[in-house]
Amino acid sequence: MEKKLLRFSVNEVPYEIYINPKTLLVEAIRDHVGLTGTKRGCETVSCGVCTVMVNGMAVKGCSILAMQVDGMSVTTVEGLEKNGKLDPIQTAFLDEGAFQCGFCTSGMLMMAKAFLNETPKPKDEMEIRRGMEGNLCRCTGYNSIIRSIAAVASGKYREDK
Amino acid sequence: MIHDFTYLQPGSVKEALAMLAEHKDECKIICGGQSLLIVMRQGLVQTDYLMDIKRLNELNYIKYEKKDGLKIGATTTHRAIEKSDVVAKNYPILVDMEHKLASIQVRNWGTIGGNLAHADAAGDPAPVLIALDASVKVGSAKGERTLPLEEFYTDLFETAMEPGEMILEVQVPTPAPKTATMYQKFNLLESDQGIVAVAVTITMEGDACKAARIILGNAGSTPVRAKKAEAVLVGKKPTDALFEKAGEAAAEECEPVGDIHASEEYRRHLIKVLTRRMAKAAFEQAKG
Q: Does B11 contact A at CB distance below 8 Å? A: no
Average pLDDT over residues A149-157: 97
**CA nearest to B111, candidates B41, B29, B192, B174:** B29
* pLDDT above 80 (res A66): yes
| Cβ atoms of residues A134 and A51 within 8 Å | yes
Mean pLDDT of A54-80: 98
Which residue type is seen at A149? I
Of A43, A65, A111, the CB nearest to B105: A111
Average pLDDT, chain A: 96
Identify the pLDDT of residue B151. 98
Compute CA distances A13 → A36, A90, A110, whole Å: 16, 21, 18
Assess whether B167 and B225 both reside in one domain: no
- Backbone conformation region of residue A83, classed left if phi is above 0, alpha if psi is from -120 to 50, else beta: left
Distance of CA B272 to the CA centre of its chain: 21
| For residue A37, pLDDT beyond 60 | yes
pTM, entire model: 0.96
pLDDT per position as a tens digit, A69-95: 999 999 999 999 999 999 999 999 999
Q: Is residue B145 part of a domain?
A: yes
CATH number of domain containing B130: 3.30.465.10
Gap from B3 CA to chain A (nearest CA, Å): 8
Q: Band of the pLDDT at A161, cuts 50, 70, 90?
A: very low
Chosen from A45, A108, A110 to mutate, greatest number of chain B CBs within 10 A: A45
Task: Name the residue range of residue B218's domain.
Answer: 179-287
What residues in B contact A64, CB-CB < 8 Å?
Answer: 33, 37, 109
For residues B216-229, b (16+ Cβ closer than 10 Å) or e, as one string? bbbbbbbbbbbeeb
B279/B226 same-domain check: yes
Rg, C-alpha atoms of chain A: 16
CA dihedral A31→A35→A38→A41, nearest 10 degrees, is: 30
Q: Which ipTM score applies to this complex?
A: 0.96
Helices (H) and strands (E) in chain B — how many of each?
11, 14
Do B122 and B227 share a structural domain? no
The DSSP 8-state label assigned to residue A33 in this structure reads I
Q: What is the pLDDT of residue B190?
A: 82
Cross-chain Cβ contact A43/B189 below 8 Å: no
> How many structural domains compose chain B?
3
pLDDT of A1 > 80? The answer is no
Give chain A positions within 8 Å (CB) of B55: 68
Q: Which of A20, A21, A58 is the closest to B105 by Cβ?
A: A58
Q: Calculate the CA A72 to chain-centre distance.
A: 15
B95 and B155 in a single domain? The answer is yes
> Same domain, yes or no, for B167 and B93?
yes
Q: Burial level of B240, CB count in 10 A (0-12/13-18/19+)?
A: exposed
Nearest CA in chain A to B42: A44
Contacts of A43 in chain B (CB under 8 A): 38, 41
CA gyration radius, chain B: 19
Strands (E), B40-142: 49-52, 62-65, 69-73, 135-140
Tell me if B96 is assigned to some domain: yes
> Could you tell me if B184 and B276 lie in one domain?
yes
> What pLDDT does A87 receive?
97
Final residue of a domain: which of B172, B187, B216?
B172
Residue B81 lies in a domain: yes
Which residue from B minimizes the CA distance to A111? B105
pLDDT in tens, A103-149: 999 999 999 999 999 999 999 999 999 999 999 999 988 999 999 99
In a domain, B1, yes or no: no
Give the rounded percent of residues in chain A with a pLDDT score beyond 90.
Answer: 93
In this complex, the residue of A4, A21, A48 whose CB is nearest that of residue B105 is: A48
Of B7, B55, B109, the CB nearest to A59: B109
Of B174, B141, B140, whose CA–CA distance to B160 is shortest?
Answer: B140
Residues of chain B with pLDDT under 70: none
Domain-embedded: residue B271: yes
Q: Please tell me the predicted confidence (pLDDT) of residue A55.
A: 98
- CATH number of B259's domain: 3.30.390.50
Residue A67 has pLDDT above 70, yes or no: yes
Asked if B165 and B139 count as a contact pair (C-beta separation under 8 A), the reply is: yes
Per the rule left: phi > 0, alpha: psi between -120 and 50, beta: everything else, B119 is: left
Domains of chain A by start residue, with CATH: 4-79 (3.10.20.30), 88-153 (1.10.150.120)
From the CB of residue B78, how many other CB atoms can be counted at a distance below 10 Å? 26
User: Of the candidates A21, A45, A67, which has its C-beta nearest B106's C-beta?
Assistant: A45
pLDDT, residue A160, reads 58
Per CB-CB distance under 8 Å, the chain A contacts of B78 are none
